[in-house]
Structure formats: structure tokens, C-alpha cells
């Protein structure tokens, strides 16, 4: 059953949890999300933001620079609420129970779910945010179709991610087998993401970029520049 954001009683949580946690997905169903690292290492996830404070704050500023100033927003893959909370986004979708608990402590209303099967009716939101989420979804095109579906006409989708062709993107790919979080991740270039967005129906693209050094070399807030191709962290804003 789908949820209308104005009435949370319409959402059957038990039914959704059961569907989400089933074993091998049948054809046409959503696969079990890659949540184990976030369930087992939630503290390590939080520590990353403290140790990489300036990189995190730079990413936050970059996202904010393209975020609509008003309207009803949703973050897909809200995680622990590290972006939603300071950006004033009150609702998120998250498959990990551990992440959900932390985000709720930060004041976010979190609905358990996955990007490929959002538990909302059509045309519910003015903008949707996805930060470092697309690399963890099983089906990026389906996830973007779902974002398109729940957006109102003229609404915006913002995607923040590490470009696989960037300096940090190449490092992440080189050492992904040793990474707790990125071992099963799929990285994308900006051009690849834009291509999929266009296939889904999005238009009117804007870009900003930041993080122009290796993470251990970031000693302050990084510059926020228009475009892409230089910075490792890219934000794309597109319109339905």
C-alpha cells in the first residue's frame, strides 16, 4: 500500500517491511538493498563525517546552492540524516534500521523503503534529494523513475555523488574491495547519470562541483564551482 504524506496511517508498515526483507527477489520485485554495512558499521559511518568535516561541509554547501528554497522535500537514502537535517528536509526514505534510528533522532520522519519502490503516491513532492545514494541502488534507472513519479510537475531532483572519473572516484574504485561501505557500490560518471536522467524524462540540467583535493588534503571548505569535470563531488539538479 502506498503512503500519502498528509496521512501516515495509509502506509502499511508491516506489509512493507515484509516485502523489503524477503529472500531472493522474484522477477519484477525489488531486490534486498545493500544495507548490511550500514547496519554493522553505523558508528564508523558517523565518524567519517567528523574526520572529514571540511569535505562534508563543502558537499553540504554545494547541495544547498541548488536546493529549492521552499516546497515539500524528500531525501531518498536519507541515511543518518546528515544532509536532510541541516538542509531542513523533514522526510526521508531509508532501508537500514540503524540509519533510520539515527536520522529520527535528528528530527527526520523516516519511512522504511528502497529507492526502486518508493512508498508514496504520485505527485507528492516539490523536490527530491539523493546524496551518495545512486551508487548503492540495485537499479539506478528504476530508482530515478520512482523519483520522477513522486515529483510534482515542475519539481526538481537533486543528485549528489562522487563522479567515477574524478580523483576521489578513481581512488574509491581502486580500493573498493577493501572498503566496508563501497565494496558493493557501482560508481557513475556525470555524463552517465545525465544520460539516464534524460531517458527517464528529466530536463533543464544545472551542475555544481566541489572537493578538488584528496580527502586527506582537504584543510578547509572547498570552492563551489559551476559545472563538472574538475571536482570529485558533483550535484546535478534537473526538472520533471
pTM: 0.86
Predicted local confidence at residue 44, as pLDDT: 87
Could you tell me the sign of the dihedral formed by the alpha carbons of 183, 188, 193, 195, in that order? Answer: negative
The rounded distance, in Å, linking the Cα atoms of 120 and 133 is: 18
The rounded distance, in Å, linking the Cα atoms of 165 and 170 is: 6
DSSP state of 123: S
What domains lie within the chain, and their CATH numbers? 8-20+32-239 (3.40.50.150)
DSSP state of 23: S
The rounded distance, in Å, linking the Cα atoms of 26 and 190 is: 31
At a CB cut-off of 8 Å and minimum separation 6, what does 53 contact?
Answer: none
pLDDT, mean of residues 77-106: 96
Predicted local confidence at residue 27, as pLDDT: 39
Q: Residue 14 pLDDT more than 80?
A: no
Predicted local confidence at residue 178, as pLDDT: 86
Amino acid at each position: 500500500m502506498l503512503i500519502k504524506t498528509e496521512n501516515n496511517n495509509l502506509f502499511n508498515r508491516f506489509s512493507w517491511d515484509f516485502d523489503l526483507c524477503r529472500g531472493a527477489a522474484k522477477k519484477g520485485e525489488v531486490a534486498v538493498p545493500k544495507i548490511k554495512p550500514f547496519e554493522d558499521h553505523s558508528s564508523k559511518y558517523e565518524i567519517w563525517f567528523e574526520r572529514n568535516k571540511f569535505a562534508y561541509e563543502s558537499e553540504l554547501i554545494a547541495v544547498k546552492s541548488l536546493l529549492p528554497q521552499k516546497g515539500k522535500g524528500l531525501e531518498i537514502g536519507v541515511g543518518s540524516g546528515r544532509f536532510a537535517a541541516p538542509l531542513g528536509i523533514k522526510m526521508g526514505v531509508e532501508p537500514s534500521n540503524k540509519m533510520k534510528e539515527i536520522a529520527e533522532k535528528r528530527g527526520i520522519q523516516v519511512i522504511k523503503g528502497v529507492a526502486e519502490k518508493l512508498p508514496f503516491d504520485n505527485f507528492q513532492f516539490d523536490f527530491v534529494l539523493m546524496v551518495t545514494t545512486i551508487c548503492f541502488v540495485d537499479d539506478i534507472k528504476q530508482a530515478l523513475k520512482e523519483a520522477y513519479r513522486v515529483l510534482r510537475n515542475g519539481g526538481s531532483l537533486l543528485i549528489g555523488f562522487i563522479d567515477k572519473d574524478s580523483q576521489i572516484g578513481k581512488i574509491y574504485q581502486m580500493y573498493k574491495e577493501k572498503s566496508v561501505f563501497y565494496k558493493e557500490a557501482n560508481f557513475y560518471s556525470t555524463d552517465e547519470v545525465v544520460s539516464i536522467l534524460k531517458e527517464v524524462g528529466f530536463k533543464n540540467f544545472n551542475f555544481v562541483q566541489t572537493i578538488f583535493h584528496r580527502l586527506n588534503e582537504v584543510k578547509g571548505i572547498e570552492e563551489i564551482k559551476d559545472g563538472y569535470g574538475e571536482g570529485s563531488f558533483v550535484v546535478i539538479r534537473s526538472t520533471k
